[in-house]
């Protein structure tokens, strides 16, 4: 392999899709990492200002720090006492509270009037072993229990300052319960379907199953078969499970009242596990061609220095991007909808009439976004499944040179 032969090979490699994909994902991930780092920095520096990523802590600090200002602003209307009761509306905090996980399921109301379903807190520490109690014991962070307390960020820590012993918090949080509800829904639908299918063998599906079967066929024929080929059957259960899990959780996330509303698929832990499953599936099923493509690609030997690290990086980046895409899309959807709603209260805080004036517009935008999110709910489930299928297909593909 001479250098003269090497040059065209290089340009050929650069145009192959896997190389481009790795390159694009690398750039994208770098961009994402930088933006995360930058935003953390900016939040840290803008600690005093309650902006997008404000926390409860920040709000309280703001509340106390700007006490004089707030009192002056409200004194003419409500008096000093009223101003203390009425917390200033912080859209950033509200949105973050909604999209983040919590130890109780907030239903309605604010402050002391709020109604929420307490969920079990399960903690494991080396010194105390397993500790299980209701999250109501924390009284929304106002009380400590068995030496534990809830921070304003919703994290369980030791009541005692300076105790650095690790706490493994495996509580059934809002997201866990929401996920279990979604999983239960999937089980009811699919197991019922399986039962009726085995009972009415060879006959056409009935009723609701007519709605589900096209989805299954869509995943099988248009997603899996096109990407994986003749080994489709082996991966169908995984792809269908992933699709139904993401889709049902996405849809539940769009329902604003109790069983829904949790940001399950917009949580990085959930998407991380999903991506991990794909990572393991792809690499455990990768055949010799897959590994050869990574460690012995068809490029001149001197190119290996560049190509192999990129290919190895690509192995990790593919599931990593799957994780980020789902997380970012669903979280963004929730933020936008909540943001449009917040507009009403932001303008309402300035002037009540303005709040009313803005509300129809805000509702209209929210409805529009809600419809868009319904599309996204399906689209992201589809995209995740499709890309998973493509990655699996790339790993199990047989090459006949």
Partner 1 sequence: MQLVTPAIGLVFWMLVTFSLLLVILKKFAWKPILASIREREQTIEDSLSLAEKTKADMIRLQGENESLLAEARKERDALLKEAREMRDKIVGDAKATADEEAKKLLTRAQDEIEKQKAAAIDELKREVSVLSVQIAEKLMQQQLENNQEQQAIIEKQLSQLN
Min dist CB 225 to partner 1, Å, is 12
CA 44, 49, 53, 58 torsion: positive or negative? Answer: positive
Cα–Cα dist 86/61, whole Å: 15
Min dist CB 36 to partner 1, Å, is 6
Min dist CB 275 to partner 1, Å, is 11
Q: CB under 8 A: which stretch of 10-18, 109-117, 170-178, 348-356 binds partner 1? A: 170-178
Distances, alpha carbon 309 to alpha carbons 13, 23, 44, 271, in Å: 14, 11, 34, 25
Q: Does 40 bind partner 1 (CB under 8 A)?
A: yes
Q: Does 194 bind partner 1 (CB under 8 A)?
A: yes
Which lies closer to partner 1 via its Cβ, residue 16 or residue 241? 241
Q: Does 190 bind partner 1 (CB under 8 A)?
A: yes
Cα–Cα dist 6/374, whole Å: 49
Q: How far apart are the first and last CA of the chain?
A: 19
Q: Please pick, from the candidates 172, 303, 313, 349, the single residue that binds partner 1 as defined by CB under 8 A.
A: 172
Q: Please pick, from the candidates 153, 226, 288, 399, the single residue that binds partner 1 as defined by CB under 8 A.
A: 153
Min dist CB 230 to partner 1, Å, is 14
Cα–Cα dist 377/384, whole Å: 11
Which lies closer to partner 1 via its Cβ, residue 62 or residue 232? 232
For the CA atoms of 209, 210, 211, 216, the dihedral, rounded to the nearest 10 degrees, stands at 80
Which lies closer to partner 1 via its Cβ, residue 199 or residue 401? 199
Min dist CB 64 to partner 1, Å, is 22
CB atoms within 10 A of CB 58: 21
Q: Map tokens 């499970």 to a residue.
A: 241
For 378, phi and psi rounded to 5 degrees?
A: -75, -45
Please list every residue from 50 through 79 that binds partner 1, using CB under 8 A.
Answer: 53
| DSSP codes joined into one string, 329-342 | HHHHHHHHHHHHHH
Which lies closer to partner 1 via its Cβ, residue 77 or residue 204? 204
Cα–Cα dist 300/10, whole Å: 8
Q: Does 201 bind partner 1 (CB under 8 A)?
A: yes
What DSSP designation does 371 have? H
Write out the E strands in 135-179.
Answer: 148-150, 156-158, 168-169
| DSSP codes joined into one string, 89-142 | P-HHHHHHHHHS--SEEEEE--GGG-EEEE-EEEEEETTTEEEEEEGGGGTTTT
Min dist CB 166 to partner 1, Å, is 10
Which lies closer to partner 1 via its Cβ, residue 109 or residue 214? 214
Q: Which residues of 180-217 are buried (b: 16+ CB within 10 A; e: fewer)?
A: ebbeebbeebbeebeeeeeeeeeeebeeebeebeebbe
Closest CA to 125 of 163, 174, 173, 176: 163
Q: Does 102 bind partner 1 (CB under 8 A)?
A: no
Q: Does 164 bind partner 1 (CB under 8 A)?
A: no
Min dist CB 180 to partner 1, Å, is 7
Which lies closer to partner 1 via its Cβ, residue 243 or residue 347? 243
Size of the site for partner 1 (CB under 8 A): 55
Q: Please pick, from the candidates 2, 129, 202, 207, the single residue that binds partner 1 as defined by CB under 8 A.
A: 202
Please list every residue from 269 through 298 that binds partner 1, using CB under 8 A.
Answer: 269-270, 272-274, 277
Min dist CB 272 to partner 1, Å, is 5
Which lies closer to partner 1 via its Cβ, residue 86 or residue 169? 169
Q: Please pick, from the candidates 1, 12, 34, 39, the single residue that binds partner 1 as defined by CB under 8 A.
A: 39
Judged by the rule CB under 8 A, the positions of this chain that interact with partner 1 are 36, 39-40, 53, 96, 99-101, 122, 153, 168-173, 175-176, 179-180, 183, 186-187, 190-191, 193-194, 197-198, 201-204, 213, 216-217, 220, 233, 236-238, 240-241, 244-245, 267-270, 272-274, 277, 327, 331
């Amino acid at each position: 392999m001479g250098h003269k032969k090497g040059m065209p090979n290089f340009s050929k490699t650069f145009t192959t899709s896997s190389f481009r994909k790795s390159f694009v994902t690398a750039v994208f991930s770098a961009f994402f990492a930088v933006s995360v780092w930058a935003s953390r920095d900016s939040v840290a520096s803008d600690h005093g200002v309650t902006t997008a990523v404000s926390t409860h802590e920040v709000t309280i600090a703001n509340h106390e720090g700007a006490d004089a200002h707030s009192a002056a602003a409200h004194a003419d209307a409500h008096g000093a006492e009223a101003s203390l009761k009425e917390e200033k509306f912080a859209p950033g905090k509200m949105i973050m509270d909604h999209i983040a996980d919590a130890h109780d399921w907030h239903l309605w109301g604010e402050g002391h009037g709020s109604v929420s379903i307490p969920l079990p807190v399960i903690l494991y520490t080396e010194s105390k072993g397993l500790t299980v109690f209701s999250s109501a014991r924390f009284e929304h962070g106002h009380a400590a229990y068995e030496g534990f307390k809830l921070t304003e960020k919703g994290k369980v820590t030791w009541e005692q300052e300076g105790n650095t012993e690790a706490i493994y918090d495996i509580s059934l949080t809002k997201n866990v319960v929401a996920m279990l509800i979604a999983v239960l829904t999937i089980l009811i639908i699919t197991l019922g379907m399986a039962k009726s299918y085995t009972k009415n063998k060879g006959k056409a599906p009935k009723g609701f199953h007519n709605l589900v079967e096209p989805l299954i066929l869509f995943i099988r024929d248009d997603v899996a078969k096109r990407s994986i080929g003749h080994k489709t059957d082996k991966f169908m259960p995984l792809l269908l499970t992933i699709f139904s899990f993401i889709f049902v959780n996405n849809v539940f996330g769009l329902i604003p009242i109790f069983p829904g509303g949790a940001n399950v698929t917009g949580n990085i832990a959930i998407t991380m596990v999903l991506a991990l499953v794909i990572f393991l599936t792809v690499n455990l099923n990768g055949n010799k061609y897959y590994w050869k493509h990574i460690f012995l690609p068809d490029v001149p030997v001197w190119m290996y220095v560049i190509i192999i690290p990129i290919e190895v990086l690509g192995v990790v980046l593919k599931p990593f991007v799957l994780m980020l895409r789902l997380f970012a899309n669903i979280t963004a959807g929730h933020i936008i909808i909540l943001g449009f709603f917040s507009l009403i209260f932001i303008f309402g805080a300035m002037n009540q009439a303005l709040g009313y004036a803005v509300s129809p517009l805000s509702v209209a935008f929210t409805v529009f976004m809600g419809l868009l999110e319904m599309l996204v709910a399906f689209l992201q489930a589809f995209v995740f499944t499709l890309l998973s299928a493509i990655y699996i297909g790339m790993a199990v593909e047989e090459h006949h040179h």
